Amino acid sequence: MLAEEDLMGNSNESFIKSESVCEDETSEKKAVSRKQFLGRLYEIPGAAISFCNDVDDEPCPPGEFEFINGYRYSPNVKVPSPESMFGCEGCHISGCHLKKPQSCSCLDDLDDKHRKFAYNKDRKVIIPPRHLIIECNRYCSCGPDCATRVVQRGRLIPLEIFKTPKKGWAVRTQRIIQRGMFIDVYRGEVIDHEEAERRGSIDHQGSVYLFDLDFFSKGEETQEFGSAYTIDARHCGNVTRFFNHSCDPNIAIWPVVGHELARTERLYELAFFAIHDIKIGEELCFNYHGEGNQKKEGQRGVICHCGSEKCTGEFFIL
Ligand SMILES: C[S@@+](CC[C@H](N)C(=O)[O-])C[C@H]1O[C@@H](n2cnc3c(N)ncnc32)[C@H](O)[C@@H]1O
Ligand SMILES: [Zn+2]
Ligand SMILES: [Zn+2]
Ligand SMILES: [Zn+2]
């Protein structure tokens, strides 16, 4: 369906409705903005992302949203430099030895208890959510087939952005997903703490796309690093910014280092993996709170429409 649409250019299209615009003009504008949105989806690398609205006549998500494939750094954020990267030495070109985590220096940052590879030979994640995943990178002695390289290979599962009656836009899978499979990484603009506070305090009619990179500030490294960065996917990001909250989620988040980003600069990626087997057509949702459902300072409650039996009735956002 997507491939059959004509691709439109990237000219800016206003989505603000004017009362003086007549019916025909409005429908034409809707058709153009839908075509533009489909054109943007078509250009996304990786497995296809389709689009569907069976609920109402909104042509596509509102706003000037740009799909990006990497982080976008706001001016006051220090961009990680390649010098801070290092790789393992002595691991075989065919891949690091999954049964011998002691022998791969990529895992040197992990303490003895956590020193294990994050994936099994099928490239499914086997460490618990929110535990650090370290992937081999371009400086490693192993080659591209090393089983530790999963997130850096990109999304392999085709997804669909669709409209829900009560939660706005959402994402569902077009393939069966097995537990442990990688789905995608959260993308957006990397902003500092002050900017996140400022943006969080602006009322955007309920929807919030801010994600704190606070993994390393929770441990003993807090004092060294101070407050962490935040990812804002309001204006730019990828399909994951349409993932909704559920009190009974089927996907969760792992912090990932390797490839481009260096742990020493507090920047890492947020990768979504399946925590259950997921059927075709099922919506992909994660728990916005990570663990627990406690309201933190400065957060406000939103009525939850996840529809699960475990629903607590509300969730909290900045
Ligand atoms: C990151 S966005 C998710 C995509 C969003 N539905 C959209 O249309 O762009 C987060 C927002 O989606 C809505 N949302 C997400 N999960 C929800 C849920 N379980 N119940 C009600 N609204 C939800 C809320 O407005 C929330 O602020
Ligand atoms: Zn390796
Ligand atoms: Zn390595
Ligand atoms: Zn709920």
Residues 261 and 294 in one domain: yes
Instruction: Report pLDDT for 259.
Output: 56
Q: Tell me, what's the pLDDT at 260?
A: 54
**Full DSSP string of 45-112:** SSS-EEEE--SSS--S--S--EE-SS-EE-TTSPPPPGGG----SS--TT---TT-GGG-GGGTTS-G
Q: How far apart are CA 178 and CA 213, in angstroms?
A: 27
Q: What's the gap in Å between 236 CA and the centre of ligand 4?
A: 26
Q: What pLDDT shows up at residue 267?
A: 80
Ligand showing the shortest atom-to-Cα distance for residue 147: 2
Identify whether residues 33 and 174 lie together within a single domain: no
Is residue 55 in some structural domain?
Answer: no
Asked whether residue 215 falls in the same domain as residue 83, the answer is yes
CB 235 within 8 A of CB 61: no
| Together in a domain, 128 and 200 | yes
**Residues 34, 162 within the same domain:** no
Ligand 4 centroid from CA 313, angstroms? 5
278 C-alpha to ligand 1 centroid (Å)? 20
Same domain assignment for residues 7 and 81? no
**Same structural domain, 66 and 39:** no
Q: Are 244 and 139 within one domain?
A: yes
Q: Is ligand 1 within 6 A of the CB of residue 285? A: no
Let me know if residue 9 belongs to a domain.
Answer: yes
Question: Does the residue 213 lie in any domain?
Answer: yes
Residue 148 corresponds to which amino acid?
Answer: T
Whether residue 160 is found in the same domain as residue 267 = yes
DSSP one-letter code for 310 = T
Q: Is 245 in the pocket of ligand 1 (CB under 6 A)?
A: yes
Say if ligand 1 is within 6 A of residue 70 CB.
no
User: Does residue 51 sit within a domain?
Assistant: no
Provide the CA 219 distance to its chain's centre, in angstroms.
23
Question: What is the span of the domain harbouring residue 12?
Answer: 1-43
Q: State the pLDDT at residue 298.
A: 66
Instruction: Tell whether 50 is covered by a domain.
Output: no
Q: How many domains does the chain have?
A: 2
- Ligand lying closest to the C-alpha of residue 307: 4
Strands 159-163, 169-173: parallel, antiparallel or unpaired by DSSP? antiparallel
Does 158 lie in the same domain as 247? Answer: yes
pLDDT tens series, the chain, 318 aa: 333 232 233 333 322 223 344 456 677 777 778 898 999 899 999 999 999 999 999 999 987 788 999 999 998 887 777 776 788 999 999 999 999 999 999 998 888 998 999 999 999 999 999 898 999 998 999 999 999 999 999 999 999 999 999 999 999 999 999 999 999 999 999 998 888 888 877 655 556 788 888 766 554 444 444 457 899 998 999 999 999 999 999 999 999 987 555 555 578 899 999 999 999 999 999 998 876 666 666 677 889 999 999 999 998 876
Regarding whether 77 and 25 lie in a shared domain, the answer is no
Is residue 250 assigned to a domain? yes
Q: Which ligand is nearest to the CA of 308?
A: 4
Specify if 310 maps to a domain. yes
- Model pLDDT, residue 16: 28
CATH number at residue 312: 2.170.270.10
In a domain, 54, yes or no: no
CA 46 – ligand 1 centroid, Å: 24
Shared domain for 95 and 234, answered yes or no, is yes
